[in-house]
Structure 1
Amino acid sequence: MSADTQVRKVVIIGGGIAGGVLALGLRQRGVEVVLVDQRSELGGVGHGITLQGNALKAFDAVGLYDRLKERGFAFSHLRMKTPDGHVVAEMPTPPMGGPDLPGTMGAVRGDIADLIEEMLDEAGVDVRLGTTLTAIDDQGDSVRVTLADGTVETADLLVGADGIRSKVREMIGIDTKPQPVGMGIWRTVAKRPPEMDCSELYFGGPKYKAGYTPISEDLCYAFLLEENLDRSFIGEGPNGALLKERGQGYGGIWGQVRDSLADDAIVNYAWIEAICVDSPWHRGRTIIIGDAAHACPPLIAQGAAMCAEDAVILAEMLTSGDAVEDVLPAFMERRFPRVKMVLDNSLTLAEWEMHPETPGADPGRIMGETLGALVAPA
């Protein structure tokens, strides 16, 4: 790597999966990293998450998978069921992470956040909490970043990994906004019945879809998708009784999980939103990645995977010896088609689940084709 093109310092806004994995990937390659997050701590609570093999591969690249596997629940297939719990189809999960990793893993989101926080500290990342970005001054050969606490950092690159409502995206003049998909999702964490051994999806019931994923030896993550309810429902609170009421009409293990919920169980309800910023995601020496650039409905369980892949690939490319101005368009060329395919297929799937009478609607086929395509390395 020649001295004039070497990336020495990167400022990252956002310490979620995209920002955290990128910070780890860069530090492990000797780059100085300042990671900024407006929260007071990076670790966290949170419901469950389904991680496909390509997400695990990206986590493995920075050493996160070895820690997560001690806590998560690995499996290698997916079942589709009728509302009363009868199996319609069973699909093996393609080996998207390669032969040495499970096809899928369920995990607690808070565990991932806690592990990333722990690893950032060990790696020597300069983490600035409780502050945010207030100004970007692109100098051509560097970028000056001003934070709300008054500090100024000069770096080779600024990365916005600050989520679907990205401030960095807005500050660099990209006016794409997240759009509601038309579905809302209820999520909760419950005790895992012993017979639950993989993700299962219940189609054709009174709502759009119900399902769950085992996320540890003891716990599962259960969800229910229906129409967008009034905004007053949005948020998290002790709404177990409400989810039990809205989730009537499903049997099988889903019915058991629903009935096991306490009336005051913590439940999250959100409108599902999507965004896809057209290429390029960069302006000068600033780039957005992860949900800031492409947030997809969670119907193919690829959101975290796309974020983590962005991070690992950008870290590799920034430390390859090529100049930043060459890396960013090359990164777009490599990432955009894959991300766009996942996003388009997720939106098609959402449309079909909301309108199952659509001619040619076949959720199982599009899910299988998408996962099959993702076996190719990122």
Structure 2
Amino acid sequence: MSTPRTVLVIGGGAAGNTATVLLRRAGIDVDLIEAKDDWNATAGSGITLQGNALRVLRELGVWDRVEKSGYAFGAVGITAPDGTVLHVAEDQRTGGDDLPATVGMQRPRLQRILSDAVRASGANIRLGVRATSLDQPADDAGVTVRFTDGTEGRYDLVIAADGLGSATRAAIGITDRPEPTGMAIWRVAVPRPAGVTRTDLAYGGPAYIAGYCPTGEDTLYAYVVEANRDRASVPAGSYADEMRALAQRYGGHWPEIAAHITDPAKVNYTWFERMLVEGSWHRGRVVLVGDAAHCCPPTLAQGAALSMEDAWVLSQLLAATDTWDDALLQAYHERRVARVRPVVDASVQIGRWQLDADRDADVPGLMGRTMALLKELP
């Protein structure tokens, strides 16, 4: 690239970190700002990374660390609420045959690996900082950004990777907002029972879904999905009691898991939400990636994967040309929305079938068809 370029990445999660590393590799100057002082170092319990996510992590050069830090497996079990295994299906290798089908890992470990890669990239990192305004004069292709620490800077492009509640999305006039789908999920990290070597899912029983995923030799994260409730009716101090009451009514490995659900500070409760920004994902030289542009329930475990794919595709397009214009950013949108929309729709549909108690629902078929699409390069 002959013309020096500068990019501001807003948000230091999976999408923002991925974009930063890849743009720095292409020789582009990058500033990354993250609102949280700790760079999300302790956020979340666990994460399921399927092959298409692993493919991006390999491109970032961090696959070896991910492989050592997580737990790889290649199947999913379907159980009855009492723990009886009804079916075991091989997971599709959406990242190719040279990568595992799935890796479970503790989410803070993944964040640490990605943030280390950002630091090593030579990007300028500023934690505890937000953007307060973005100014795009009509006669200038750049963006002047003012920050909460009183500084300002001019950039050729701003990448908004600031998540589901993106303040940047609102600031540039995109009015799409996340909408609840009717379900909510309890999550917790606990010790891994010795017999858990894959994800198992129980549909039905006291909740819609009860599942777990191994995240390391000694760790696991477990989750229970129910109808969403008013958050005000669920005091944070009761989170462990609430989740344990549901979990202990399942059989198999669940009694051992439930016995460790004791600390309410380690239990997370969130609603399932759906959003897909319709129309262009950019305004001028500000472009959305990841959860700022789309989100879906975790029924297909594709949230982080799609976010990292966004960053990978956008970085490829930016690195390939000096001409950063509307046509390039629209090409990014069109390439991504064709892949993202089927995943968002399928993730929502799986939940809707459960809410409607649809006896004719073809959950395995829909999952299989959707995952087959993700084998192709993004």
Are the equivalent residues in 1 in contact too, given 2:236–2:264 (CA < 8 A)? no
Is residue 184–residue 271 contact of structure 1 (8 Å, CA) maintained in 2?
Answer: yes
* Pair 1:336-2:337 in alignment: yes
Contact 2:184-2:228 within 8 A present in 1 as well: yes
Report the equivalent of 1:136.
134
Residue 38 in structure 1 maps to residue 39 in structure 2: no
Query: In 1, Cα distance between the equivalents of 2:346 and 2:239?
Result: 32
Match of 2:26 in 1: 29
Question: 2: CA distance between counterparts of 1:83 and 1:7?
Answer: 59
**Once structures 1 and 2 are overlaid, which stretch shifts more, 154-163 or 139-148?**
139-148
**CA distances 1:194-229 after superposition (whole Å, capped 9, x unpaired):** 111111110121211100000011000000000112
The answer to whether residue 11 in structure 2 is matched with residue 14 in structure 1 is yes
Aligned residue type for 2:62? L
Equivalent in the alignment of 1:49: 47
- SS for the counterpart of 1:162 is coil
Asked if residue 172 in structure 1 is aligned to residue 172 in structure 2, the reply is yes
Deviates more, 1:58-67 or 1:11-20: 58-67
Partners of 1:244 and 1:261 within 8 A in 2 = yes
Secondary structure at 1:328 match in 2: helix
Structure 1 residue 218 and structure 2 residue 210: aligned? Answer: no
Q: Secondary structure at the match of 1:177?
A: coil
1:245-256 to structure 2, matched below 5 A, reads: 245-256=245-256
- Tell me: CA distance 1:290–1:64, structure 2 relative to 1, closer, same or farther (3 Å): same
- After TM superposition, the structure 1 = structure 2 runs for residues 92-103 of structure 1, keeping only pairs within 5 Å, are 92-103=90-101
Aligned to 1:122: 120
Aligned to 2:80: 82
* Deviation for aligned residue 1:234: 5.9
Structure 2 match to 1:346? 347
Letter of the 1:341 counterpart: P
**Any idea what the Cα deviations from partners look like across 1:95-141, whole Å, max 9, x if unmatched?**
11112111000011101111122121111110111111111112442
| Larger CA deviation: 95-104 vs 251-260 | 251-260
Residue 277 of structure 2 aligns with an amino acid whose one-letter code is: V
**Cα distance in 1 between the residues matched to 2:11 and 2:301:** 21
Deviation per residue, 1:300-355 (Å, 9 max, x gap): 00000000100111111100015111321111121101101100000101101222
SS at match of 2:164: coil
Q: CA deviation at 1:359?
A: 5.6
Q: Is the 8 A contact 2:206 2:246 kept in 1?
A: no
Inter-partner Cα distance in structure 2 for 1:205 and 1:70? 35
Distance in 1 (CA, whole Å) between partners of 2:321 and 2:242 is 55
Equivalent position SS for 1:370:
helix
Q: What CA deviation, in whole Å up to 9, does each residue of 1:250-286 have, x standing for no partner?
A: 1112233113433657211111222110131011111
Tell me by how many angstroms 1:365 deviates. 1.6
* In 1: Cα distance, 2:231 partner to 2:352 partner: 21
Instruction: Give the deviation of 1:369 after TM superposition.
Output: 1.4
Q: Secondary structure at the match of 1:97?
A: coil
TM-superposed deviation, 1:88: 2.1
Show the counterpart of 1:282: 282
CA apart distance, 1:361: 1.1
Matched to 2:334, the amino acid is E
User: Are the counterparts in 1 of residues 190 and 222 from structure 2 also a CA contact under 8 Å?
Assistant: yes
Q: Counterparts of 1:355-366 in structure 2 under 5 Å?
A: 355-356=356-357, 358=358, 360-366=360-366
Query: Which of 111, 114, 123 matches 1:113?
Result: 111
1:317 aligns with 2:317: yes
When normalised by structure 1's length, the TM-score is 0.95
Determine the C-alpha separation between the residues in 2 that align with 1:166 and 1:324.
23
Conserved in 1, the CA contact under 8 Å of 2:33 and 2:126?
Answer: yes
Task: Encode CA deviations 1:41-72: one digit per residue, 9 max, x unaligned.
Answer: 21511200101100011111111222111110
Match of 2:195 in 1: 195
Deviation at 1:170, TM superposition (A): 0.2
2:98 matched to 1:91?
no
Q: Which stretch of structure 1 is more off in the superposition, 125-134 or 233-242?
A: 233-242
Contact conserved, 1:144 with 1:152, CA < 8 A, in 2?
A: yes
Answer yes or no: is the 8 Å Cα contact 1:237–1:266 preserved in 2.
no
Q: Kindly indicate whether the alpha-carbon contact (under 8 Å) linking 2:6 and 2:29 is maintained by their aligned counterparts in 1.
A: yes
Q: Is the 8 A contact 1:67 1:115 kept in 2?
A: yes
8 Å Cα contact 2:131/2:148 also seen in 1? yes
Aligned residues: 374
Aligned amino acid, residue 329 of structure 1: Q
1:283-298 alignment, distance < 5 Å:
283-298=283-298
How many angstroms apart in 2 are the aligned matches of 1:141 and 1:265? 46
Identify unmatched segments of 5+ residues in structure 2.
none
SS state of the match for residue 314, structure 1? helix
1:21 CA displacement:
0.7
The answer on whether the counterparts of 1:205 and 1:250 sit within 8 Å (CA) in structure 2 is yes
